[in-house]
A and B are shown apart, each in its own frame.
Chain A
Amino acid sequence: MTETLRPVAPLMERSSRGWMVVRRFLRRRLSVIGLVCVVLLYALAFLGPLLTPWSYAEQDPTAYLAPPSAQHWFGTTQIGEDVFAQTLRGLQKSLTIGLLVGVISTGIAAVVGTVAGYFGGWVDRILMWVVDLLLVIPSFLIIAILSPAFRGKTWLILVILLAAFSWMITARIVRGLTLSLREREFVLAARFMGVSPWRIIARHIVPNMASILIIDATITVGTAILTETGLSFLGFGVQPPDVSLGTLIASGTNSALTFPWLFLFSGGLLALTVLSVNFVGDGLRDALDPTSTHAGRRRSGE
Chain B
Amino acid sequence: MTGFLARRLVNYVLLCLVATFLAFALGSATFSPLGQLQGRNPPPPASVIAAKRAALRLDEPIPARFVAWMGGVVHGDFGSTIDGQPITDELARRIGVSLRLFTLGAAVGIAAGVVLGVVSAIRQYRPSDYAATLFSFLMLSTPTFLVGTLLKFGALRLNELTGTTVLSFTGESSPGLPGGWWAHLGDRLAHLVLPTLAIALAQIALYSRYQRSAMLDVVGSDFLRTAQAKGLTRRRVLFKHGLRTALIPMATLFAFGFGLLITSSVFTERIFGWYGMGDWFVYGVTQNDTNIVATVTLFVAVVVLVSGWLSDVLYAALDPRIRL
- Which A residues lie at the B interface, using CB under 8 A? 133, 136-138, 140-142, 144-149, 222, 226, 229-230, 233-236, 246, 249-250, 253, 256-257, 260, 263, 267, 270-271, 274-275, 278-279, 293-298, 300
B133–A271 touching, CB < 8 Å: no
Q: Which of B36-44, B45-53, B76-84, B135-143 touches A?
A: B135-143
- Given the known interface contacts A146-B30, A274-B141, A296-B210, the answer about A253 and B267 at a Cβ–Cβ threshold of 8 Å is no
Q: Would you give the shortest CB distance from B159 to chain A, in whole angstroms?
A: 11
B residues 16-71 touching A (CB-CB < 8 Å): 18-19, 22-23, 26-27, 29-32
Tally inter-chain residue pairs, CB-CB below 8 A: 120
The stretch among B97-105, B181-189, B229-237, B292-300 that forms the contact with chain A is B292-300
Complex CA gap A267/B217 in Å reads 36
Given contacts A142-B23, A148-B32, A271-B142, 19 further A-B contacts (CB under 8 A): A133-B18, A136-B15, A137-B18, A138-B23, A145-B285, A149-B30, A226-B143, A233-B267, A234-B270, A235-B282, A267-B146, A270-B146, A275-B141, A278-B137, A293-B217, A295-B210, A295-B212, A295-B213, A300-B216
Residue in chain A with minimal CB distance to B260: A140
- Would you call A138 and B259 a contact (CB within 8 A)? yes
Interface window among B1-9, B148-156, B311-319: B148-156
In the assembled complex, how far is the CB of residue A63 from the closest CB belonging to chain B, in whole angstroms? 24
**A138, B304: Cβ atoms under 8 Å?**
yes
Tell me whether A137 and B22 are in contact in the complex, defined as CB-CB below 8 angstroms, given that A253-B149, A298-B216 are known contacts.
Answer: yes
The contact of A296 among B136, B141, B150, B153, by CB within 8 Å, is B136
Contact B23 A141 (CB under 8 A): yes
CA distance A149 to B25 in the complex (A): 13
Chain A, Cβ-Cβ closest to B156: A257
- Inter-chain CA distance A116–B186, complex, in Å, is 57
Main secondary structure of the interface of B (DSSP, over half): helix
Closest chain B residue to A253, Cβ basis: B149
Instruction: Report if B220 contacts A (CB, 8 A).
Output: yes
Which positions 207-263 of chain B face chain A at CB distance < 8 Å?
Answer: 209-210, 212-213, 216-217, 220, 259, 262-263
Are the C-beta atoms of A141 and B281 separated by less than 8 Å? yes
Q: Determine the chain B residues whose CB is within 8 A of the CB of A246 once the complex forms.
A: 145
Does A296 lie within 8 Å of B270, measured CB to CB? no
The reply to whether the CB of B203 lies closer than 8 angstroms to some CB of chain A is: no
B266 beta carbon closer than 8 Å to chain A: yes
Whether B143 lies near A148 (C-beta < 8 A) is: no
Contact A138–B301 (Cβ < 8 Å): yes
Does B288 sit within 8 A of A, measured CB to CB? yes
Q: Is the CB of A296 within 8 A of B304?
A: no
| Chain A: CB-nearest residue to B24 | A145
How far, in whole Å, are A235 and B267 apart by their CA atoms in the complex? 12
- Chain A residues whose CB sits within 8 angstroms of the CB of B300 once the complex forms: 138, 141
Cα separation A250 to B282 with both chains bound (whole Å): 14
Alpha-carbon distance A260/B146, docked complex (angstroms): 13
* B213 lies within 8 A of A298 (CB): yes
Residues of A within 8 A of B19 (CB): 136-138
Please report the C-alpha to C-alpha distance between residue A136 and residue B212 in the assembled complex, in whole angstroms: 28
Which of B149, B296, B300 is the most central at the interface, judged by chain A CB atoms within 10 Å of its CB? Answer: B149
A166 to chain B, nearest CB (A): 14
The answer to whether B146 and A257 have CB atoms under 8 Å apart is no
CB neighbours (8 Å) of A148 from chain B are 30-32, 285, 288
B198 CB within 8 Å of chain A: no
B114 at the interface (CB under 8 A from A): no
- B271 at the A/B interface (Cβ < 8 Å)? yes
Of the candidates B29, B141, B152, B297, the one whose C-beta lies within 8 Å of that of A278 is: B141
Instruction: Identify which of A142, A275, A296, A298 gathers the most chain B CB atoms within 10 Å of its CB.
Output: A296
Q: How far is the CB of B296 from chain A (nearest CB, A)?
A: 7
**Chain B positions within 8 Å of A226 at CB level:** 143
List 5 A–B pairs whose Cβ atoms lie within 8 Å, in order of A's numbering: A141-B300, A145-B293, A222-B141, A256-B153, A274-B142
Partner pick for B27 among A145, A236, A275, A300, CB 8 A cutoff: A145
Asked if A234 contacts B266 (CB within 8 A), the reply is yes
Given A222-B141, A260-B153, A270-B146, A142 and B22 contact (CB-CB distance below 8 Å): yes
In the assembled complex, B162 has its CB within 8 A of some CB on chain A: no
B164 contacts the other chain (CB 8 A)? no
